[in-house]
Amino acid sequence: MIEQPWFTVDLHLHTNRGSADSNLAPRDMIARAQAIGIGAVCITEHDNAWDLREIATLAADSGVIFLRGMEVTTEMGHIGVFGLTEYVGGIYKLRELRKVVDKLGGIMVANHPFRYKLDPRFSFINEDHEPIDPERPETAARLEIFEVCDAVEALNGACSEEENLFALKVARHLGLAEVAGSDSHSANSIGCVTTLLSAPVRNERELIEAIKARKTRAGRGLIAGTVAPFEIPA
């Protein structure tokens, strides 16, 4: 395998162990992660967290680092959280989630913030939201969700290119950390997009510190063999 200049992390994925909408068995996740040569994979189930000992047992000797996060459903969308060890009542409210995460020294990511929000055909999904002007990231940057989050998922494996690019522009406008996750619910898409780091992270704490320090980029190309950061086209 070609040595990559980046340490790659799939920051967002669901298994059938903790997410009812996923077809991904933990053993298949491990096999696929090994096969593609990814650095680390974060298991981020919907509103519940893995026990770290369980992850350690499953992933032992795999050569891949498995980390734990959670994708919390809130009134303002899905938030990727690191540092949370279990679901806490009340975190459906974004500000309450922030308080809990701050106490634990964790971080919050605005996951796929513009999924279905730029296409008028999906406006029925967003009936209680302000329409978003795809030409004006600076306006979308004022949305409350970005006041509360540390990072923006600028590349999500299940979003359109337009939605991802708009998220990247908003992240740049705000100077928030840029991350990426496949949002896999099956094995084949693992690592289709990855968070890029210049140095490896070995545990959840190191990942949190790297994101807090804005040392991450969103990127893709791992499966094709050449990883490149996601950039706004000139």
Residues that bind Zn ion (CB under 5 A): 71, 78, 111, 183
Please say whether the beta carbons of 108 and 144 come within 8 A.
no
Decide whether 163 or 183 has the Cβ nearer to Zn ion: 183
| Burial class of residue 179, CB neighbours in 10 A (0-12, 13-18, 19+) | buried
Q: Which residue is nearest to Zn ion (CB)?
A: 78
CA–CA dist 29, 21 (Å, integer): 15
Show Cβ contacts of residue 102 under 8 Å, excluding neighbours closer than 6 positions.
Answer: none
Please say whether the beta carbons of 191 and 158 come within 8 A.
no
Decide whether 183 or 204 has the Cβ nearer to Zn ion: 183
Q: CB of 158: closest distance to Zn ion in angstroms? A: 8
Q: The tokens of 150 are what?
A: 């540390």
Radius of gyration of the chain (CA): 17
Decide whether 4 or 132 has the Cβ nearer to Zn ion: 132
Please say whether the beta carbons of 166 and 138 come within 8 A.
no
CA–CA dist 149, 110 (Å, integer): 6
Q: The tokens of 97 are what?
A: 């989630």
Q: CB of 12: closest distance to Zn ion in angstroms? A: 6
Q: CB of 17: closest distance to Zn ion in angstroms? A: 14
Q: CB of 60: closest distance to Zn ion in angstroms? A: 26
Decide whether 4 or 22 has the Cβ nearer to Zn ion: 22
Q: CB of 112: closest distance to Zn ion in angstroms? A: 6
Q: The tokens of 66 are what?
A: 């498995």
Decide whether 71 or 163 has the Cβ nearer to Zn ion: 71
Q: CB of 153: closest distance to Zn ion in angstroms? A: 9
Decide whether 13 or 177 has the Cβ nearer to Zn ion: 13
